[in-house]
């Protein structure tokens, strides 16, 4: 008898055996069927062209997206397994970015935890819930480094830094996929958007990207390489032109780098309609030319544009594309379907989802993830934590009771908002106190979101100026009558994400005006920020004594905010992006190269004459209710040979009165060498918990991976013999320093 694993998949599904099965299957498939496997078709009502049912019945299809309907998944799969010519199961795919039913903090927030295990656990649960719904594949993690806070999609990634981004990338891949593709509680991950999308000109979504190889290899590629190392099965190419070649048809990216250099053996899908977009982008002549270019570039699957379905057969028949090329493109798709055990277990148990989403540990994990993601930006006079004895609290601001903005952008299709808002979280925490609430004036995008019709808040009619004035007054009066004010402000759900770039980073609408008006009342005031990008909160940073960056914290966000405000949890998150003082300062990031007039020289403190260019809050920054000291920076040796490693140790002590977390960060700077190197680069971090007076030793390793880089001058990866500065501390301005000499 054949040994079976827990999915019922024959355990002899070794790579060799799967390769043989794939070859045998390919041999029996018609060209039309092969092309079917290279297509992902839209299952939404608004998708044009033949319905998935028809295509599947006629020739089978690689995948269906934009559908979130367990019964229909099974119905479509039944057609594939019983009526399609070669009975190849369909992959059902959807964007499950930070949770399916249980919503976790947005990815930028998860990166603020500086705790990859938080991201891994979140995506493990997201995988379990979405797989129970019948999905097999998510379009995440989003691995685009983003150094321009105007770019709306900064919310979907891990921020500005390749080292932190790589750790979060690997953790999310492990969470989604687990150790084995045949695990029935996991989904395929997709590393997107390959590559450089976050560097769009001016932070304007989809605008062209010009990145030299040194930036791509040292900054933008590392999270993708980390995803491959963690076993990611699929990649998605990006929309924009990279150095004047659209990523969806860029052979250098998709073939030379991804396949030849990195040895990626999964498959690549375009971004939505991306193949046909080669025509719109002025790169391909027509649909057939677009299909030709993308296929030749190494793009396996066409998302939603039907360009492959409509063109590839003719291109093979007129010898523009060979059947061998088609087979090469189909192989990894069939291989992955086999590795998942889908041929043996194509259906989902329609009763499973209800049981899985009710699991209490999912809510607990969401609350913990939100707690660990929040960043305390200011706490003058130790206003926080607040007393639970408070009897009369005013909660104001347009986001205080918004489920949508608490959950954040990118909910799965058909999701109904279901979050504990900050107002509710405070009510849960202070059940005996009087909690009054007034939202103040609405905040709205000036130019509506193109998907506005799907969003309840965007559907509401806009407030008249008179209504806004009345709401403003009501908020001030509510604040006036309370002992303490909690203002919940930031950006609504539709203000960050795709189609959500903006020129300014100010608090939208009349929020700052309201903040000033209630601050003038002279009562203690706390600002809780809900937002998906850094904001230029210059006035608040000087005048509001306590500021908590809660990001878009997910289903349990309001409870987590209350846990922190009232001291049940000590905040320990750190910023994965710097906060510019002004949208016009973007792109702004800590890891820049030195100039001929560094800003630490007297008289050259800023690059602008109308204000400082330093960030309002630096990368890696975040406060705690306790204090820490980091001392005793010691290297195993002050000198190390090229290719060898050195150990870096520090002692970290909790010098305050309560237990708390510190994220210990290691930065390096190569002083000179073949190329100029950034003045600081993160090369190690660890989040630790310390009781009062407790000291822990934290150890980092620096070896060739950390000390080497891609050199423009050498045109390859190198490690220079050169002196290095080493800093360890609590953020990117760390001052505790040691010297390291790397010799040849």
> What burial letters (b/e) apply to 419-446, b meaning 16+ CB within 10 Å?
bbbbbbbbbebbeebebebbbbbbbbbe
Q: Report, in Å, the least distance between residue 409 CB and ligand BGC.
A: 11
Nearer to ligand BGC, 140 or 572 (CB): 140
CB of residue 732 to ligand BGC, shortest distance in Å? 29
Three-state SS across 336-388? HHHHCCCCCCCCCCCCHHHHHHCCHHHHHHHHHHHHHHCEEEEEHHHCCCCCC
CA distances from 400 to 492, 539, 561 (A): 11, 20, 11
Catalytic residue at 148?
A: no
Say which of 271, 563, 720, 731 is annotated catalytic: 271
Nearer to ligand BGC, 151 or 619 (CB): 151
Tell whether residue 563 is a contact of ligand BGC (CB under 6 A): no
The DSSP code for 260 is I
192 vs 372 by CB, closer to ligand BGC: 192
Rg (the chain; Cα; Å): 26
Closer residue to ligand BGC (CB): 105 or 157: 157
Q: Which of 192, 287, 367, 585 binds ligand BGC (CB under 6 A)?
A: 192
Mode of pairing for the β-strands spanning 392-396 and 484-490:
parallel
Minimum distance, C-beta of residue 66 to ligand BGC, in the bound complex (Å): 7
Closest distance of CB 91 from ligand BGC, Å: 14
Q: In the window 326-345, what residues touch ligand BGC (CB under 6 A)?
A: none
Binder to ligand BGC among 148, 271, 289, 494 (CB under 6 A)?
Answer: 271
Least distance to ligand BGC from the beta carbon of 289, Å? 22
- The one-character DSSP state at 493 is G
Taking CB under 6 A as the criterion, which residues in 95-114 touch ligand BGC? Answer: 95
Which residue number, 272 or 650, has a Cβ lying nearer to ligand BGC?
Answer: 272
DSSP state of 545: S
Task: Verify binding: residue 139, ligand BGC, rule CB under 6 A.
Answer: yes
Q: Please report whether residue 494 would count as binding ligand BGC according to CB under 6 A.
A: no
Neighbours of 287 (CB within 10 A): 18
Give yes or no for residue 272 binding ligand BGC (CB under 6 A).
yes
Q: Pick from 491, 498, 706, 731 the residue near ligand BGC by CB under 6 A.
A: 498
Nearest to 142 by CA among 333, 409, 367: 409
Nearest approach, Cβ of residue 272 and ligand BGC (Å): 4
Asked if 177 and 186 count as a contact pair (C-beta separation under 8 A), the reply is: yes
In this structure, are residues 623 and 376 in contact, taking their beta carbons and an 8 Å threshold?
yes
Binding mask 397-416 for ligand BGC (x = CB under 6 A): --------------------
Query: Given the complex with ligand BGC, which of 106 and 623 has the nearer CB atom?
Result: 106
Distance CA 353, CA 10 (A): 26
Q: Residue 302 or residue 498: which is nearer to ligand BGC going by CB?
A: 498
List the one residue out of 709, 157, 106, 105 whose CA is nearest residue 365.
105
At which residue do the structure tokens 């100039």 appear? 595
Q: Report in angstroms how near the CB of residue 711 gets to ligand BGC at its nearest.
A: 32
Long-range contacts of 595-598 (CB under 8 A, 24+ apart): 598/679
Contacts with ligand BGC by CB under 6 A: the residue count is 6
Q: Tokens for 177, please give them.
A: 């996929």
120 is a contact residue toward ligand BGC (CB under 6 A): no
How would you write 212-259 as a 3-class SS string? Answer: CHHHHHHHHCHHHHHHHHCCCCEEEECCCEECCEEHHHCHHHHHHHHH
- Give the residue numbers annotated as catalytic, written as ranges: 271
Residues contributing to the site for ligand BGC (CB under 6 A) = 95, 139, 192, 271-272, 498
């Amino acid at each position: 008898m054949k040994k079976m694993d827990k999915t019922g998949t024959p355990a002899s599904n070794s790579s060799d055996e799967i390769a043989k099965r794939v070859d045998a299957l390919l041999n029996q498939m018609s060209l039309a069927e092969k092309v079917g496997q290279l297509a992902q078709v839209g299952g939404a009502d608004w998708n044009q062209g033949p319905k998935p049912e028809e295509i599947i019945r006629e020739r089978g299809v690689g995948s269906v997206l934009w559908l979130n309907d367990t019964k229909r998944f099974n119905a479509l799969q039944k057609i594939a397994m019983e009526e399609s010519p070669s009975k190849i199961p369909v992959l059902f795919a959807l964007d499950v970015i930070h949770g399916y039913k249980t919503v976790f903090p947005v990815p930028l927030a998860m990166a603020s935890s500086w705790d990859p295990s938080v991201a891994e656990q979140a995506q493990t649960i997201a995988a379990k819930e979405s797989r129970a719904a019948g999905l097999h594949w998510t379009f995440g993690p989003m691995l685009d480094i983003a150094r321009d806070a105007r770019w709306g999609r900064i919310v979907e990634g891990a921020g500005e830094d390749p080292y932190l981004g790589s750790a979060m990338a690997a953790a999310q891949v492990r969470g989604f996929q687990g150790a084995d593709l045949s695990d029935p509680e996991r989904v395929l991950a997709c590393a997107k958007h390959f590559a450089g999308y976050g560097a769009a000109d001016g932070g304007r979504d989809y605008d062209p990207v010009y990145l030299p190889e040194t930036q791509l290899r040292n900054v933008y590629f590392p999270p993708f390489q980390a995803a491959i190392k963690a076993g990611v099965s699929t990649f998605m190419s990006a929309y924009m032109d990279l150095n004047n070649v659209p990523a969806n048809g860029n052979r250098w990216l998709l073939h030379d780098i991804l396949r030849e250099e990195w040895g990626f053996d999964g498959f690549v899908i375009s971004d939505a309609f991306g193949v046909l977009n080669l025509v719109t982008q002025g790169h391909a002549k027509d649909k057939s030319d677009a299909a030709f270019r993308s296929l030749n570039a190494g793009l396996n699957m066409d998302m939603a544009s039907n360009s492959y379905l409509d063109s590839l057969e003719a291109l093979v028949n007129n010898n523009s594309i060979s059947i061998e090329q088609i087979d090469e493109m189909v192989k990894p798709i069939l291989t992955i379907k086999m590795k998942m055990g889908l041929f043996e277990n194509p259906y989902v148990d329609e009763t499973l989802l209800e049981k899985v989403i009710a699991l209490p540990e999912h809510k607990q994990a969401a609350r913990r993830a939100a707690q660990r993601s929040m960043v305390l930006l200011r706490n003058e006079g130790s206003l926080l934590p607040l007393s639970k004895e408070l009897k009369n609290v005013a909660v104001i601001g347009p986001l205080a009771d918004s489920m949508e903005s608490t959950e954040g952008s990118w909910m799965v299709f058909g999701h109904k908002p279901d979050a504990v808002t900050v107002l509710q979280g405070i009510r849960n925490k202070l059940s005996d106190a009087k909690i009054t609430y007034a939202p103040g004036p609405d905040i709205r995008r000036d130019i509506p979101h193109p998907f506005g019709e799907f969003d309840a808040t965007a559907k509401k009619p806009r407030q008249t100026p008179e209504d806004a004035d009345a709401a403003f007054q009501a908020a001030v009066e509510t604040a006036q009558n309370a002992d303490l004010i909690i203002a919940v402000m930031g950006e609504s759900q539709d203000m960050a994400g795709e189609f959500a770039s903006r020129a300014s980073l100010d608090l939208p609408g009349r929020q700052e005006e309201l903040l000033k008006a209630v601050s003038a009342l002279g009562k203690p005031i706390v600002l809780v920020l809900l937002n998906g990008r850094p904001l230029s909160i210059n006035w608040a940073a000087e005048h509001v004594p306590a500021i908590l960056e809660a990001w878009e914290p997910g289903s349990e966000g309001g409870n987590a905010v209350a846990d922190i405000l009232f001291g049940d949890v000590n905040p320990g998150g750190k910023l994965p992006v710097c906060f510019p003082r002004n949208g016009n300062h973007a792109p702004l990031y800590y890891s820049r190269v030195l100039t001929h007039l560094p800003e630490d020289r007297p008289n050259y403190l800023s690059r602008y004459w109308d204000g400082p260019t330093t960030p309002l809050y630096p990368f890696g920054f975040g406060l705690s209710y306790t204090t820490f000291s980091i001392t005793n920076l010691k290297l195993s040796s002050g000198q190390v040979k090229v290719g060898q490693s050195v150990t870096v140790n520090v002692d970290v002590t909790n010098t305050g009165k309560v237990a708390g977390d510190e994220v210990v960060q290691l930065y390096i700077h190569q002083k000179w060498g073949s190329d100029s190197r950034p003045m600081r680069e993160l090369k190690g971090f660890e989040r630790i918990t310390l009781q009062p007076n407790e000291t822990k030793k934290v150890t980092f390793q620096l070896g060739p991976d950390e000390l080497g880089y891609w050199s423009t001058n050498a045109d390859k990866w190198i490690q220079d013999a050169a002196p290095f500065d080493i800093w360890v501390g609590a953020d990117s301005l760390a001052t505790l320093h040691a010297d390291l000499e790397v010799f040849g």
